[in-house]
């Protein structure tokens, strides 16, 4: 079965093509006039590209850790300052500071490793119907819900990721006032075909990895991110890349909310290929502040 044409999204390929301004200094743009702030995954992906540009290509990304400091303005470019922290025999470490108007908006530490053979094991497995056998999100929900889902066109206009859910997206049950376990999963891929370069593909998943993750902490509370008075924002974000893979091909992204408290939430994710191989893991803590009591 052929995939249907993909919906319009921001131009991710251009977003990940940074301009080299000076040695270890890069400039990134959003190419999006409708967003109110820079999508967190964009900052992660662009910072990773900046770091990777200073690393020998035979060393591949294996982990990254980011901290969101201030919301970014999508109407202004972002400067990415790379510090060459370490160049070891097997590992290379870089830190990146992203700024706008002299203010730091994001910090990243990334580690790269030369390819090596080693012990092989994974603790978890997952299976789901293939994405080609699943309906698009629009065809999987009640038309009445779809008509009122203002979040959906906003997401598509501002985030360049395709997705399909093997089960009902918990957000829909929460909108009905029903609680659900803190688990959700979706087939995901970047919304456009990217360059085959491993750094670009790694940055493509870094971009996609922020999507939905923190919201997996909300289903037990029967709350959606549209809840009046709810402040939801990523605070820090971690990605571990276990295998090389193409972010522009379908992978199953399982997400689990681990904890909520103190106006924060903690979630983790696992990314599997079609054969159930774990290719990446993620973790994120974010702000979950409910500003007023619910009616």
| Active site positions, annotated | 210, 234, 284
Calpha distance 193→196 (Å, rounded) = 9
C-alpha separations of 109 from 6, 232, 283 in Å: 33, 23, 15
Residues 188 and 168: their CA atoms lie apart, in Å, by 15
Distance CA 98, CA 172 (A): 35
Residue 293, classed as helix, strand or coil, is: coil
CA distance 154 to 112: 34
Rounded Cα distance between 150 and 155, Å, is 9
**Cα separation of 21 and 203, whole Å?**
20
Q: In 3-state terms, what secondary structure has residue 72?
A: coil
Residue 84 CA: distances (Å) to CA of 18, 116, 191, 289: 18, 22, 32, 37
Beta bridge partners of 237: 66, 284
Report whether 110 contacts 96 (CB < 8 A): yes
């Amino acid at each position: 079965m052929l995939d249907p044409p993909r919906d319009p999204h921001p131009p991710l390929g251009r977003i990940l093509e940074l301009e080299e301004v000076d040695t270890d200094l890069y400039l990134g743009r959003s190419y999006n006039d409708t967003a109110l702030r820079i999508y967190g995954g964009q900052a992660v992906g662009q910072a990773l590209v900046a770091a990777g540009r200073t690393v020998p290509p035979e060393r591949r990304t294996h982990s990254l850790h980011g901290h969101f400091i201030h919301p970014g303005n999508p109407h202004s470019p972002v400067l990415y300052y790379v510090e060459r922290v370490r160049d070891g025999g097997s590992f290379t470490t870089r830190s990146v500071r992203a700024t706008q108007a002299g203010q730091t908006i994001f910090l990243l530490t990334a580690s790269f490793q030369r390819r090596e053979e080693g012990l092989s094991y994974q603790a978890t497995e997952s299976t789901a119907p293939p994405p080609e056998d699943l309906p698009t999100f629009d065809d999987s929900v009640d038309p009445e819900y779809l008509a009122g889902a203002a979040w959906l066109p906003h997401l598509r206009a501002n985030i360049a990721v395709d997705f399909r859910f093997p089960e009902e997206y918990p957000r829909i049950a929460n909108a009905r006032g029903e609680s659900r376990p803190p688990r959700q999963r979706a087939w995901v891929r970047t919304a456009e075909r990217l360059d085959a370069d491993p750094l670009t593909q790694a940055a493509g998943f870094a971009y996609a990895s922020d999507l939905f993750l923190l919201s997996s902490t909300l289903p037990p509370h029967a709350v959606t991110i549209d809840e009046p008075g709810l402040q939801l924002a990523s605070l820090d974000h971690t990605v571990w890349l276990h295998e090389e893979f193409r972010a522009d091909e379908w992978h199953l992204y399982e997400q689990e909310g681990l904890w909520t408290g103190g106006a924060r939430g903690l979630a983790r994710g696992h990314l599997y290929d079609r054969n159930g191989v774990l290719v990446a893991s993620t973790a994120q803590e974010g702000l979950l502040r409910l500003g007023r009591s619910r009616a």
